[in-house]
Amino acid sequence: MKRTINFLPQSIIIMEHENVKQNRTPLLDAMIAYKKKNCTPFDVPGHKYGRGAQELAEIFGEKALSLDFNSMKSLDMLSNPTSVIKEAETLLAEAYGADYGYFVVNGTSSAVKSMIMAVCKPGDKIIIPRNAHKSVVSALIMSGAIPVYIQPEYDVKLGIFHGVDTEKAINTINENTDAKAIFLINPTYYGAVSELKPIVEHAHKHGMAVLVDEAHGAHLRFHVDLPSSAMEAGADASAVSTHKTGGSLTQSSAIVSRQGIIQESQIRKYLNINGTTSASYLLMGSIDGARKNLALNGTKMLQEALDIARYARNEINKIPGFHAFGREIIGRPGVYGFDETKLVINSCKIGITGFELYDILRDQYNIQMELGDAYNTLAVISLGDTYESIQVLINALKHIAVTDYRNAKNINHLKNVGELEVRMSPRDAFYSDTERIKLKESVGRISCESIMAYPPGIPIITPGEVITSEVVDYALHLKDNNALITDVEDIELNYILVVR
């Protein structure tokens, strides 16, 4: 019998028997069954179900440690799954409307690298929005692929980058028909989505694979009010951070893919190259459980998350000086849809930078936000949020609005870094002979490293790009604002490694 489940996106019409299948958790079940057998372990992990790590067992819970297994016959093996992991991956694929699913235990960074390496050999071109995560740069270094960057659309009012313009993406495909793939982000950290479908169709006309970063979109598939997922738009593969908005444990992630341009075995091959040989069952089991939860309860839980986000937006927009944008940004350049669970709070008018607001909320109000940038602070509203928890944030913002945190300084409107010249491939620059010079004296030189604040982990310069004065100013601005700088040798940003 066919039925439409309440709240479910129209596109997800689930056959009753499939929903029953989504009720299963083959990997979790096998883990519990193995634990019940009370086997005498002479394999690793050496804590032997927590007995050799009493303090950890007390802190993490004995149950968690007693389920911390390594690969074995009855529990399958991630590098070549044939039984319970394979079944769990198949259920994952079905839940996401994909042909194949792959569990990933080294974070979405590993998923992104494996996806790109599955498609690009050294020297192959790949089209990439320039606001991609640092894992994409790692993939370029490791694969030797050559990036063709598309500038995403910059929103001057909000001080953030959105998605890519459809026409720009299509033109870039036309100008680079020899590219092996186009990489897209769905959604950006701040919730904007590019118009996936026409870009996917156009890329496919040229035999190009479409790879999607859904690090912030593991939930999209499960509610009709959220933008389309990569698989719904016909993409070939997507890296899905189940751990970010899908409810699994930190570092667990997944790839879902479609039969066609990319072979299933290619993705598995590169996951094995990038991955561990000791995949954590706690992480994998958590993906199995999170998938079941999303498939069975996701729509209802996301309805609640959306209601909370909408309520919060409304309340925040009543507080003088704060602004939380919503669906009204749809239609701006690079915004073809918007994920309302990304609650971005702009504090420009109150005279506080996003970095400052992030710190104030944590240090003065015990509220941990997802990220702060020059102008905004981001709250991710997800499966575990409640009206009580959002009220804590709203009350804090009300208090901040009438407290003298404001230093009344004008938010220094930073010059956007803009398009940079790629003079060398990321791999060649990364492996070239380097020279360590003062950042302030580096304009015109080719960088050997990436500079970024984490989060969001979007590099302002990557290996192979030519350093400009805007890059130097932006980097120093990040430093002045105590942003967490990563990936450069000198995190004080006094020096940078450039090609000799």
Q: How far is the CB of 112 from ligand PLP (least distance, A)?
A: 5
Q: How far is the CB of 299 from ligand PLP (least distance, A)?
A: 24
- What x/- string results for residues 60 through 99 when contact with ligand PLP is judged by CB under 6 A? ----------------------------------------
- Distance separating alpha carbons of residues 217 and 227, to the nearest angstrom: 9
**Could you tell me which of 367, 370, 358, 375 has the C-alpha nearest to residue 393?**
367
- Distance separating alpha carbons of residues 120 and 250, to the nearest angstrom: 28
Binding-residue total with ligand PLP (CB under 6 A)? 15
Asked whether position 280 contacts ligand PLP by CB under 6 A, the answer is no
For residue 500, the SS3 value is coil
For residue 350, give every residue at least 6 positions away whose Cβ sits within 8 Å of its Cβ, in sequence order, or none: 320, 321, 322, 400, 401, 406
For residue 62, the SS3 value is helix
Q: Which is nearer to ligand PLP, 169 or 218 (CB)?
A: 218
Asked whether position 189 contacts ligand PLP by CB under 6 A, the answer is yes
Q: Which residue has the tokens 């919730």?
A: 191
Query: Judged by CB under 6 A, which stretch of 105-113, 289-297, 369-377, 484-492 contacts ligand PLP?
Result: 105-113
Q: Which is nearer to ligand PLP, 189 or 222 (CB)?
A: 189
| Cα–Cα separations (whole angstroms), residue 445 to 80, 151, 450 | 45, 21, 13
CA torsion sign for 366, 369, 371, 376 is: negative
Question: Which secondary structure element, helix H or strand E, spans residue 15, and what is its range?
Answer: strand 14-15
Residue in the shown chain whose Cβ atom is closest to ligand PLP:
107
Query: Judged by CB under 6 A, which stretch of 68-76, 103-111, 314-322, 461-469 contacts ligand PLP?
Result: 103-111
In eight-state DSSP terms, residue 73 is G
Q: How far is the CB of 289 from ligand PLP (least distance, A)?
A: 18
Asked whether position 107 contacts ligand PLP by CB under 6 A, the answer is yes
Q: Which is nearer to ligand PLP, 234 or 455 (CB)?
A: 455
Q: Which is nearer to ligand PLP, 25 or 108 (CB)?
A: 108
Q: Per residue in 364-390, is it b (16+ CB within 10 Å) or e — as a string?
A: eeebebbbbbbbbbbbbbbbebeeeeb
Asked whether position 323 contacts ligand PLP by CB under 6 A, the answer is no
Task: Give residue 380's identity as a one-letter amino acid code.
Answer: V
Q: Which is nearer to ligand PLP, 9 or 187 (CB)?
A: 187
Query: Judged by CB under 6 A, which stretch of 74-82, 106-114, 392-400, 435-443 contacts ligand PLP?
Result: 106-114
Q: Which of 186, 229, 242, 253 binds ligand PLP (CB under 6 A)?
A: 253
- DSSP secondary structure string, 231-248? TTTT-SEEEE-HHHHSS-
Asked whether position 457 contacts ligand PLP by CB under 6 A, the answer is yes
Question: Which secondary structure element, helix H or strand E, spans residue 21, and what is its range?
Answer: helix 16-22
Q: Which is nearer to ligand PLP, 87 or 370 (CB)?
A: 370
Asked whether position 262 contacts ligand PLP by CB under 6 A, the answer is no
Q: How far is the CB of 486 from ligand PLP (least distance, A)?
A: 12
150: β partners: 129
Q: Which of 135, 229, 376, 382 binds ligand PLP (CB under 6 A)?
A: 135
Q: How far is the CB of 500 from ligand PLP (least distance, A)?
A: 31
Q: Which is nearer to ligand PLP, 112 or 417 (CB)?
A: 112
Q: Which of 86, 125, 133, 292 binds ligand PLP (CB under 6 A)?
A: 133
SS3 content of the chain, % helix, strand, coil (to 5): 40, 15, 45
Alpha carbon 248 to chain centroid distance? 14
Binding to ligand PLP in span 197-236, by CB under 6 A = 213, 215
Q: What do you get for the CA distance between the two ends of the chain, in Å?
A: 68
Q: How far is the CB of 239 from ligand PLP (least distance, A)?
A: 7
> Encoding tokens for residue 205?
């006309």
Residues in the chain: 500
Q: Which is nearer to ligand PLP, 251 or 468 (CB)?
A: 251
Asked whether position 108 contacts ligand PLP by CB under 6 A, the answer is yes
**Could you tell me which of 120, 101, 251, 255 has the C-alpha nearest to residue 178?**
120
Q: How far is the CB of 373 from ligand PLP (least distance, A)?
A: 13
> Encoding tokens for residue 56?
């950890």
In eight-state DSSP terms, residue 250 is T
In eight-state DSSP terms, residue 462 is -
Q: Which is nearer to ligand PLP, 133 or 258 (CB)?
A: 133
Asked whether position 373 contacts ligand PLP by CB under 6 A, the answer is no
Asked whether position 338 contacts ligand PLP by CB under 6 A, the answer is no
Q: Which is nearer to ligand PLP, 86 or 243 (CB)?
A: 243
- Distance separating alpha carbons of residues 212 and 460, to the nearest angstrom: 21
- Distance separating alpha carbons of residues 68 and 53, to the nearest angstrom: 12
Asked whether position 109 contacts ligand PLP by CB under 6 A, the answer is yes
Q: Which of 95, 112, 139, 262 binds ligand PLP (CB under 6 A)?
A: 112
Q: Which is nearer to ligand PLP, 92 or 352 (CB)?
A: 92
Contact 199, 64 (CB under 8 A): no
∠ CA(214), CA(139), CA(187), 5° rounding? 15
Q: Which is nearer to ligand PLP, 45 or 455 (CB)?
A: 455
Query: Judged by CB under 6 A, which stretch of 65-73, 86-94, 114-122, 450-458 contacts ligand PLP?
Result: 450-458
Q: Which residue has the tokens 């079944």?
A: 87
Where along the sequence are the contacts to ligand PLP (CB under 6 A)? 107-109, 112, 133, 135, 185, 189, 213, 215, 241, 253, 455-457
